[in-house]
Amino acid sequence: MTELYPEIKAFNTFELSVTEIHTIHIEQYGNPEGQPVIFLHGGPGGGINPSNAQFFDPKKFHIILFDQRGCGQSKPFAELKENDTWSLVGDIDSIRKHLNIDKLAVFGGSWGSTLALAYAITHPDKVDWLVLRGIFLGTNREIKHLYVDGASRFFPEEFEKFLAPLDESERDDIIGNYYKKLCSDDKGVRQTAAKAWSQWEGSILKLIPDVELIEEMGGDKFAEAFARIECHYFRNSCFFEATDYILHNVHRIKHIPGIIIHGRYDVVCAMESAWQLHKAWPQSTLKIIDNAGHSSAEPGIRNELLAAVQHFSN
């Protein structure tokens, strides 16, 4: 397949209270009697879009999308309290139990791949298969690559814009000082920082930069949650007890089949992470897309994602 499945409407939308303060927004598409598959969006803090359901055959799959804590239509918006990796892992399992599902297929890209792996490692008996794109293992090395030294070497002009909200004296701790601005009581300071943070990532998502996408990611509402939540997670090393937590625990999912899809020229998440994951997880298949960056919208990546889901549905 080279095209997404046609757009469809959700057959059910609801809110699930997961703590005293957090309520998550959930949408269901496709066939309620089909194979359950949960889509894990990126960021963290990116939110879902109905088009996410178009990677799956609606006749074969019970498709579950949800906005992770603090973003999209989940409430409270841009909230950082009780918002961490292990809370999100718990939310996925709460959704599974709420919908009376025994086992899930899990589909995640970028941060969604991190969360998918964390969920599978925690609940290896509840996952049928994994389709992962743009691998991010949540390591300090990857975080440094994206926000300190790495991606900046490919896009120095865009990185200069990213650094603009910080004084020279604040650039010795980019993430820490961005966090202070994103949590400022001054709305203008927060918005300026959020836009710069979000547009930096938007500028490097695709092999060929997409001006419309960059502007979209700089929108006030999207950027506020995306930047605040990302910075919160990355400032806390994704809440893993050790920076290489996933690779050290991937043996727990050795029985789970999976397909890894990664763009050769992915500047957001270097391909090294996909290679390391594949080597540590023999049951996986690695598909390297030689003419792509990070985005699932790039044709080569989109086509392999569709093929991967089709492979598991046969």
Q: Which residues are catalytic?
A: 110, 266, 294
Q: Is 114:138 a contact under the CB 8 Å cutoff?
A: yes
User: Which segments within 7-51 are labelled E, that is strand?
Assistant: 12-17, 23-30, 35-40
Report the run of H or E that residue 132 belongs to, with start and end: strand 127-133
What is the rounded distance in angstroms from the CA atom of residue 285 to the CA atom of residue 295? 19
Structure tokens at 291: 């003419």
What is the rounded distance in angstroms from the CA atom of residue 314 to the CA atom of residue 298? 25
DSSP assignment string, 243-310: TTHHHHHGGGGTTS-EEEEEETT-SSS-HHHHHHHHHH-TTEEEEEETT--S-TTSHHHHHHHHHHHH
- Bridge partners of 108, per DSSP, are 40, 132
> What CA–CA distances, in Å, run from 93 to 36, 142, 152, 286?
13, 27, 37, 27
In terms of Cα–Cα distance, which of 284, 128, 295, 114 is closest to 208? 295
Structure tokens at 204: 């490097």
What is the rounded distance in angstroms from the CA atom of residue 164 to the CA atom of residue 153? 17
In terms of Cα–Cα distance, which of 144, 122, 130, 103 is closest to 246? 122
Q: Is 207:23 a contact under the CB 8 Å cutoff?
A: no
- The structure tokens 């994994």 sit at 130
